[in-house]
Amino acid sequence: MNAITVQHEASIFERLLVAPESAEAVLAIRFPPRDEERMRELLEKNNQGTISADEQAEMEAFRQIDSFLAIVQAKARLQLKQANGNQPSAA
């Protein structure tokens, strides 16, 4: 799969997630408590300098997913705001 294909797929996926019909559900997405606890464990190990390479990769995966979710949720909030007639101010 090339970079352009991945870019198209990501764009389509993003539009699907921030569609007005999906935005509320996207905003409700949270990590399960088990994953939140695992993230805290990994951060603690990282802070103590005792994290393994595999754990570091796992921590990075959590970070990337969390960042992606934060971006998609921000766009979903914006979509809902616009759908309700509250146009964002130009900054």
Answer yes or no: is 63 within a domain: yes
3-state secondary structure of 85: coil
pLDDT reading at 1 higher than 60? yes
Determine the Cα–Cα distance for residues 31 and 66; give it in Å rounded to an integer.
Answer: 9
Q: One-letter amino acid identity for 57?
A: A
* Total structural domains within the chain: 1
Q: Which domain holds residue 44?
A: 3-82
pLDDT digits (tens, 9 = 90+) for 19-62: 888 889 999 999 999 999 999 999 999 999 999 999 999 999 99
Answer yes or no: is 87 within a domain: no
The pLDDT of 4-19, averaged and rounded, is 81
Residue 14 — pLDDT band, cuts 50, 70, 90?
confident
Q: For the whole model, what pTM was predicted?
A: 0.74
